[in-house]
Amino acid sequence: MVAVFAFEAIRPDRRAGSLRAPRDLGQRFQARVRGDWRAALAEWAPLSLPGETVPFQRARWLATWYEAFAADGNVEPAFVEVATLAGDKVMALPLVRVTGRSRVTIEFADFGITDYNFPLLGPAAPTGEAEAVAAVAALRAALPRADVLALEKMPRRLGAAVNPLTLALDTAPSDLAGNVVTLGDDHPAWFRGLDKHYRKELERYGRVFGQFSRARFVRAGTADEAMAIHLRLEAMQRERFQRSDQPYRLDEAQFESFYRALLRDGHDDASVVVTALMVEDRMIAGLYSIVDGKGCAMVRMGVTQGPESKCSPGRLLIERTIHALHGEGLRVFDLTIGDYLHKRGFSPTRLALCDARVALSPFGLPACGLWKAKAMVKAHPRLARGARRLMRSVG
């Protein structure tokens, strides 16, 4: 399906979920859904953000994701690309069309495991609002039938690259944010620059860890060793969530298939790195990281709940992994989403993320209206307090 747009007599309307193209835009855009996502990825991935640390937009991550999840009958790949009429590449979105019980949603290839969602950008990617609005309007017109376009966990920019979606759509701050630690060439200087209390705690944890029998930091050297560490990491996470009331999906077959396939494909070229803390023959913490250029994204961690937990193995493993990979030339360490205490101590730079919702049919209007109302309440705490008082008075 190809949608071609030539906009002349309309201005942008920035109300949530609306897209109108500007009067003075001379550029024309066309958009289509590519049926063969493999060919599309091979064509687009090399163009996306050269030099930036964005493993979630790389061909291997996306291809492994589609292979693991697109076999579900309710999930249909929808790789959408936008170009000028002259054929210059503008952007592409790795999307899926998900059929739920009450509505059909188009969303990023994510399902909660892609930490940041960002378009793959071509040389003609828009950097201003007018062009972005027109390009996104063309993209929207090419989408397959659905009720809601749900775009979540989007950075407004990555490095020098601007996200055209956030220029064109009304957004709301995400509940999640990234945590990026950037080091120079001097690792000891970075470590000395940490908060004094946190640094002293890390040093103390290291001494406690060293008192255990055959305590050691391990970076998996073989594919079999990497998989063994990962399988234990999976078990640790599963055990942790079984003791809580939080929902857990990573032990479902598709999620397990995704991470294991990514590890099998990425171990040999070191694009996936698995590290662990060992005490005798027992693993007390495991970490699964994606390496991209000079950066590393730490995407999964499992820790023990046994007596060794007094050495704070999660924090210690992050610090020792940073130390080891810094020695191999890495300089950016992304602790990824989640505002956890053990991350704050590393003084990360917060990467703000945002969400957007667009109703694509009348059936999508209630969901988008509810999302907008929740976003408004979050942005105005007085409204939230008033709503709570009203609910108490009614109850």
**Domain segments of the chain: what residues?**
2-178+352-394, 184-330
Summarised one tens digit per residue, pLDDT across range 202-230 is: 999 999 999 999 999 999 999 999 999 99
Q: Which residue has the tokens 């399988």?
A: 231
Q: How far apart are CA 350 and CA 52, in angstroms?
A: 17
Structure tokens at 253: 């077959």
Cα angle value 287/248/177 (rounded, 5°): 60
**Cα 211 to Cα 88, 175, 207, distances in angstroms:** 61, 40, 7
Q: How far apart are CA 149 and CA 129, in angstroms?
A: 20
Structure tokens at 164: 């055209």
* Single-letter amino acid, residue 55: P
Class of domain 2-178+352-394: alpha beta
The confidence score (pLDDT) of residue 142 equals: 96
Structure tokens at 22: 């500007």
Which residues, 6+ apart, have CB-to-CB distance to 365 below 8 Å?
359
CATH 3.40.50.720: does it fit domain 184-330? Answer: no
The confidence score (pLDDT) of residue 52 equals: 58
Which residues, 6+ apart, have CB-to-CB distance to 276 below 8 Å?
217, 218, 220, 229, 232, 233, 283, 285, 286, 287, 317
* Regions in the chain scoring below 70 on pLDDT: 1-27, 48-53, 381-395
The confidence score (pLDDT) of residue 13 equals: 40
CATH fold match for the domains 2-178+352-394 and 184-330:
yes
Structure tokens at 279: 């005490």
